Amino acid sequence: MSTARPASPVASIAIVGVLFFVMGFFTWINGPLITFVRLAFDLDEVNAFLVLMVFYLSYFFLALPSSWILKRTGMKKGLALSLLVMACGAAAFGQFSTQRWYPGALGGLFVIGGGLALLQTAVNPYISILGPHASAARRIALMGICNKTAGILAPILIGTVVLHGIGDLASEVAAADAATKAALLDQFAAKIHAPYLLMAAVLVLLAIGVLFSPLPELRAAEVNATPVGAAAPARSSIFHFPHLWLGVLCLFVYVGVEVMAGDAIGTYGHGFDLPLDQTKLFTSFTLAAMLAGYLVGLALIPRWISQQGYLSVSAVMGVLFSIGALLSHGYVSVGFVAALGFANAMMWPAIFPLAIKGLGRFTEIGSALLVMGIAGGAIIPQLFAVLKQHHDFQAVFAALMVPCYLYILYYALRGHRVGMPAQG
């Protein structure tokens, strides 16, 4: 394994960019999938949100095993394996959705999430240490552009191919007798089969391409060691890095608010009785705002503002936009939720490198712990789905979002420095 960064990382960044596109597509398709499963499987809102819970809980359960797998396979084989696992999950989801067997469909999503856990555990620390630490947020922002471009396209694609005319179909199903209803839902569910089989085939081809690509290996223990000149005591355990553990919690709440703004925005809009044919596309608006946020972050970091400074500004924007959503109504309120995409854009690019800084030989396990934090995308939206059954959905949304953004602000101002050695 190479212990130094490649002299010209352009090819490596391009390959990783393709992988971030894949991650974005399969992550942000979940928003419209909530709409799909709710009708196809005839579910209530809480059960439809199991799409998010199962998908994001897979990160919690499979991130640590992913770090162990990567130590045995190396990066290239691990990345190829992750794509093959995702291909199996995509095929399973398409098949079981066509049969309208919800547990099987959720199992397919869990497998996709497992493949993504392996992929995330590898590529996030890789892109963080591929160049200087001070510009890590910029490199991750480039990856975020790939990720969110896919996120914009995914809802539009599934909305066009699978969810076209869903508002009229929902009305037709509501008025039909039992036999006609079953036939209509069978026909609707079958529309998901071909797209997911195509996705599975593309993933297999990408796995083969990655396996034979020029992507180099990096030894994180040497590339991401404690900075020279730092007065650092010897650290023999992952528990000796409190800034990492605070970062895990920070990523937990961040992914929660990101999923709320991106995947739950359709449900939020439906709370104002906005039509399904419009709400199915709302995820794309959030992702477009995130894309704009990445472009601004790329322009400003690190020349004009540090990554932790921009993280502070982003957290404050998150608080203000959440309050704006609470105090407004209808499309304006939905607009504030979509604007959270701008606030959220540079959070992952800033939090991840801050949390793994100086971990040395613990970088892989630290990355896995951070990826486990993605489970916030399972817990916080599910709380929203449950609590909104009993309380005003706008109040519930703000009550969940504002404390999360305040903790992110703490991490940006203080938490990322806890336990870090002073520079000599």
The whole-number pLDDT of residue 7 equals: 43
Count, in order, helices (H) and strands (E) of the chain.
Answer: 20, 0
Rg (CA), the chain: 21
AA letter at 165? G
Beta partners for residue 230, in sequence order = 423
Give whole-number Cα distances, 67 to 74, 79, 120, 408, in Å.
Answer: 10, 12, 10, 26
Going by the DSSP 8-state scheme, the letter that residue 241 receives in this structure is: -
Query: Confidence class of residue 230 from pLDDT cuts 50, 70 and 90?
Result: very low
Q: What is the pLDDT of residues 185-213, one digit of tens each?
A: 999 999 999 999 999 999 999 999 988 88
Task: Evaluate if residue 233 carries a pLDDT over 60.
Answer: no
Cis? peptide before 302, omega within 30° of 0: yes
Query: Confidence class of residue 127 from pLDDT cuts 50, 70 and 90?
Result: confident
Query: Confidence class of residue 224 from pLDDT cuts 50, 70 and 90?
Result: very low
- Topology (CATH) of 10-219+238-417: Growth Hormone; Chain: A; (1.20.1250)
- Give the torsion sign (CA, 368, 48, 182, 171): negative
As a whole number, mean pLDDT of residues 94-105 equals 96
As a whole number, mean pLDDT of residues 330-359 equals 89
Task: Evaluate if residue 229 carries a pLDDT over 70.
Answer: no
- Which residues make Cβ contacts (< 8 Å) with residue 283, sequence separation at least 6? 28, 31, 32, 151, 154, 155, 262, 263, 265, 266
Q: Which range, 114-118, 275-279, 419-423, has the best average confidence (pLDDT)?
A: 114-118
Scan for tokens 């020279």, then name that residue.
228
User: What value does the mean pLDDT of the chain take?
Assistant: 85
Q: What is the pLDDT of residues 24-72, one digit of tens each?
A: 899 889 888 998 999 999 999 899 999 999 999 998 898 888 888 887 8
Give whole-number Cα distances, 61 to 54, 114, 124, 349, 371, in Å.
Answer: 11, 8, 18, 23, 10
Task: Evaluate if residue 253 carries a pLDDT over 70.
Answer: yes
The whole-number pLDDT of residue 5 equals: 47
As a whole number, mean pLDDT of residues 139-149 equals 79
Task: Evaluate if residue 225 carries a pLDDT over 60.
Answer: no
Q: Is the whole model's pTM more than 0.85, yes or no?
A: no
Task: Convert 26-59 to b/e letters by CB count within 10 Å (16 or more is b).
Answer: bbbbbbbbbbbbbbbbebebebbbbbbbbbbbbb
Task: Evaluate if residue 112 carries a pLDDT over 50.
Answer: yes
| Consecutive H or E run containing 308 | helix 307-327
Length in residues, the chain: 424
- Give the torsion sign (CA, 380, 383, 389, 392): negative
Query: Confidence class of residue 324 from pLDDT cuts 50, 70 and 90?
Result: very high
- Which residues make Cβ contacts (< 8 Å) with residue 207, sequence separation at least 6? 79, 80, 81, 83, 84, 87
**Can you read off the two tokens belonging to residue 55?**
């998908």
**Three-class SS of residue 230?**
strand
End-to-end C-alpha distance for the chain, whole angstroms: 31
